[in-house]
Amino acid sequence: MDDELEGLRAHFPVSFGKTSKVSASTEAIHSATRRTDVATDAGVSSDFTTKKPDSSKSESGFPSLSSSSETWLRSVRGPKRNPNSSSLAPSDDDIAMGPPPSKPTQEEDEEDDGVMMGPPPPPKGLGNSNDSDDDEDMIGPPPPPRAAIDSDEDSDDDDANDNEENRYQIPLSNEIQLKGHIKIVSSLAVDNAGARVLSGSYDYTVRMYDFQGMNSRLQSFRQIEPSEGHQVRSLSWSPTSGHFLCVTGSAQAKIFDRDGLTLGEFMKGDMYIRDLKNTKGHICGLTCGEWHPRTKETVLTSSEDGSLRIWDVNNFLSQTQVIKPKLARPGRVPVTTCAWDREGKRIAGGVGDGSIQIWSLKPGWGSRPDIYVGKAHTDDITSVKFSSDGRILLSRSFDGSLKVWDLRQMKEALKVFEGLPNYYPQTNVSFSPDEQIILTGTSVEKDSTTGGLLCFYDRTKLEIVQKVGISPTSSVVQCAWHPRLNQIFATSGDKSQGGTHILYDPTQSERGACVCVARAPRKKSVDDYQPEPVIHNPHALPLFRDAPSRKRQREKALKDPIKAHKPEIPMTGPGHGGRVGTTGSSLLTQYLLKQGGMIKETWMEEDPREAILKYAEVAVKDPKFIAPAYSQTQPETIFAKSDDEEEEGDTKK
């Protein structure tokens, strides 16, 4: 029988009877994540929800503030189309340059009785209406089409705009969001290869995302809580991407491996030592931290105790260097942010008094800064960033400004960009991969309808390039433009939600979001069914159950007012539960008797000795209890003299 089945099966292909899976095309997948951009003169594009490519506005009605033109959008999203058309859809009225190759019809030959001089006339509809009615002979070359005339007038402007905007190549066509946090995402870190993303939040957790193992559901593969009850303030990968540094609101930073396992925790200093150089670690909450860009054993941290410290990850018991910033007045001013330069030879710190201080790591260097800029900002500095060539320094502050500094001349800023609200101490500033664009996020103001924006600035021209809306209700805190993926990361959120937005372009970006979006989640099969396990606990049976504790029974009985015979508290106010209440702190009858003098409480005013002696005559005449026992030994009762008489006798002596 088996041989016959094998023989029959040999006549059919292996895939016979199996249903082929219909996989969605890549274009359909990316169209679901496409952002809705409307080309206007001033503004922003985006929302939390999924965008429809055909809609001119987002579902939430959030205005588009993109400065890019329709020509730039067409160049990004597809082949160039007719620039005179109002929509982005392909048009049939494409412009033909030069004389049209069409042949004149027979009707035109019959109308023109004279001899035709020069090239053939253009077809009807392309020339002026007055020329078509003329019966005279046409002399000279035919006039160009009207559409070509209009396009020639604007060709210079269009080419200039295309060259100006296309040279930035900002990937903004598509967007996805990594969710999971229940509060604003305050820190972000992407490894050098662009495979894993770390996001830290005010909900005290760090979520780890892996693009290679993540599907379209965009769920994190691990969630850790570095320090219980402390906000996550900074995350930084090592140069080899094998470990990462986690800085929280506590005084101790932690080192984790690539899979989220704790490797060590730095030492906490003695808070009773006044000189911070003599402590083995920070004594107050940390504010920022960054791994050395070249050395995998060195990290930098800043704290609210007013110091920066350089650590060796092989020794968690003490730091290797303590840096105390220069202060105008003696005291402790928190260091709000810190950063390495690209080569790891300089350190920049933002101090709470608004100053920017830079130290060069050279032999014999100390806490005295090489560059000191006092009052660089009018409020706390939230981020500083070096350029790779070591010439430009960026700073972001609570005062709502972004400043560009020339490290060769730090007396004044090269450019100050105002109108950038900032309400979070982790709001950063970053560069594009080619460092021609500066990007930063903005916070949502109380009465504003703009929302959280991601602003792009030209480093060379020092002017704004574009503003992109990330969320209408959430602030943008951290941002990063990954060089290998060519994707922009922006964290946002508020008091109730938080997420990481990833902006990308399928035609320009590589891997990262493009990989996980196209990977559908695995469907559940019959083999995945697992019944709920039934747990049998033998000690839960009455036979094996331990006798209840007498101590717990007594504690329970004491809490019961009936069993404990707890006296009832006197009633105040109206009565309830069958008890008579009081009106004006007493019953009506008690009030009337007190006012009439029938109830008098005189025991508080009487002398206890006199109150007892008033019954002495009755006790002598009719003894009942104690007197008969002393009738033979003490026939006459002797009482002690009053206290007043004894005091008078003592004074006489």
- CATH number (domain holding residue 328): 2.130.10.10
Whether residue 393 is contained in a domain is answered as yes
* Distance set, CA 110 to CA 115, 159, 212, 429, 456 (Å): 12, 44, 72, 73, 63
Which pLDDT band holds residue 7 (cuts at 50, 70, 90)? low
**Can you read off the two tokens belonging to residue 516?**
């996980």
pTM equals: 0.63
- 368-377 residue pLDDT tens: 899 999 899 9
Residue 61 in this model has a pLDDT that exceeds 50: no
Average of pLDDT values for 23-52? 56
Closest CA to 206 of 597, 498, 504, 418: 498
Question: How many Cα atoms sit within 13 Å of 329 on the Cβ side?
Answer: 5
User: What strands, in cross-sheet order, belong to the sheet with 298-303?
Assistant: 286-291, 298-303, 308-312, 321-323
**Can you read off the two tokens belonging to residue 581?**
């209440």
Q: Please say whether the beta carbons of 188 and 480 come within 8 A.
A: yes
Q: Please say whether the beta carbons of 495 and 520 come within 8 A.
A: no
Whether residue 219 is contained in a domain is answered as yes
| Termini Cα distance of the chain | 137
Say which residue, 501 or 636, is predicted with more confidence: 501
Which pLDDT band holds residue 405 (cuts at 50, 70, 90)? very high
Q: What burial letters (b/e) apply to 501-525, b meaning 16+ CB within 10 Å?
A: bbbbbbeebebbbbebbbeeeeeee
Whether residue 596 is contained in a domain is answered as no
Whether residue 131 is contained in a domain is answered as no
pLDDT more than 70, % of the chain = 69
Average of pLDDT values for 113-141? 49
Average of pLDDT values for 62-74? 40
Domain count, the chain: 1
Q: What burial letters (b/e) apply to 576-608, b meaning 16+ CB within 10 Å?
A: eeeeeebeeeeeeeeeeeeeeeeeeeeeeeeee
**Amino acid letter, 463:** E
Q: Please say whether the beta carbons of 478 and 426 come within 8 A.
A: yes
- Cα pseudo-dihedral 559, 561, 563, 564, rounded to 10: 70
Say which residue, 354 or 632, is predicted with more confidence: 354
Whether residue 35 is contained in a domain is answered as no
What integer pLDDT is reported at residue 615 of this predicted model? 81
**Amino acid letter, 50:** T
What integer pLDDT is reported at residue 289 of this predicted model? 95
d(CA 183, CA 160): 44
Q: Please say whether the beta carbons of 444 and 400 come within 8 A.
A: no
SS3 565: coil
Closest CA to 437 of 429, 428, 426: 429
**Amino acid letter, 533:** P
What integer pLDDT is reported at residue 449 of this predicted model? 82
Domain that includes residue 400, residue range: 174-518
- Crossing angle of the two packed helices 70-77 and 146-166, in degrees rounded to 10: 70
d(CA 320, CA 289): 15
Residue 121 in this model has a pLDDT that exceeds 90: no
Residue 114 in this model has a pLDDT that exceeds 60: no
Which pLDDT band holds residue 166 (cuts at 50, 70, 90)? low
What integer pLDDT is reported at residue 581 of this predicted model? 66
Average of pLDDT values for 326-345? 90
Q: What is the DSSP letter of 233?
A: E
What integer pLDDT is reported at residue 608 of this predicted model? 83
Per DSSP, the residues of 14-64 read TTTTPPPP-PPPHHHHHHHTB------SSB----SSPPPTT-SS-TT-PPP
Closest CA to 274 of 351, 331, 350: 331
Whether residue 75 is contained in a domain is answered as no
Residue 102 in this model has a pLDDT that exceeds 50: no
- 103-107, 393-397, 588-592, range with the lowest pLDDT: 103-107
Residue 639 in this model has a pLDDT that exceeds 80: no
What integer pLDDT is reported at residue 111 of this predicted model? 44
Whether residue 168 is contained in a domain is answered as no
What integer pLDDT is reported at residue 363 of this predicted model? 82
Residue 262 in this model has a pLDDT that exceeds 60: yes
What integer pLDDT is reported at residue 95 of this predicted model? 41
Which pLDDT band holds residue 9 (cuts at 50, 70, 90)? low
What integer pLDDT is reported at residue 98 of this predicted model? 45
d(CA 440, CA 447): 21
What integer pLDDT is reported at residue 12 of this predicted model? 52
What integer pLDDT is reported at residue 646 of this predicted model? 59
What integer pLDDT is reported at residue 47 of this predicted model? 39
- 286-300 residue pLDDT tens: 999 999 999 999 999
Per DSSP, the residues of 282-302 read BSS-EEEEEE-SS-TTEEEEE
What integer pLDDT is reported at residue 107 of this predicted model? 44
Residue 172 in this model has a pLDDT that exceeds 70: yes
- 67-76, 266-275, 543-552, range with the lowest pLDDT: 67-76
Which pLDDT band holds residue 360 (cuts at 50, 70, 90)? very high
**Amino acid letter, 388:** S
d(CA 276, CA 333): 12
pLDDT more than 90, % of the chain = 43
Mind spelling out the 3-state secondary structure of 64-133?
CECCCCHHHHHHHHCCCCCCCCCCCCCCCCCCCCCCCCCCCCHHHHHHCCCCCCCCCCCCCCCCCHHHHH
Average of pLDDT values for 564-592? 67
Closest CA to 292 of 255, 265, 328, 267: 255
Average pLDDT, the chain: 77
What integer pLDDT is reported at residue 82 of this predicted model? 42
Most confident listed range (308-317, 548-557, 635-644): 308-317
What integer pLDDT is reported at residue 45 of this predicted model? 40
Closest CA to 382 of 441, 417, 426, 319: 426
Residue 271 in this model has a pLDDT that exceeds 80: yes
Residue 125, by phi and psi: left (phi above 0), alpha (psi -120 to 50) or beta?
left
What integer pLDDT is reported at residue 624 of this predicted model? 77
> Percentage helix, strand, coil, to 5, in the chain?
15, 25, 60
d(CA 335, CA 355): 10
Most confident listed range (42-51, 416-425, 586-595, 642-651): 416-425
**Can you read off the two tokens belonging to residue 203?**
């909900």
What integer pLDDT is reported at residue 117 of this predicted model? 52
Start-end of H helices in 518-581:
550-559
What integer pLDDT is reported at residue 591 of this predicted model? 65
Per DSSP, the residues of 122-169 read PPTTTS-HHHHH--SPP-SSPPPPHHHHHHHHHHHHHHHHHHHHHTT-
Say which residue, 347 or 134, is predicted with more confidence: 347
d(CA 234, CA 231): 9
Average of pLDDT values for 547-558? 82
**Can you read off the two tokens belonging to residue 369?**
């800064």
* Distance set, CA 290 to CA 250, 308, 311, 360, 432 (Å): 16, 11, 11, 16, 19
Whether residue 97 is contained in a domain is answered as no
Which pLDDT band holds residue 600 (cuts at 50, 70, 90)? low
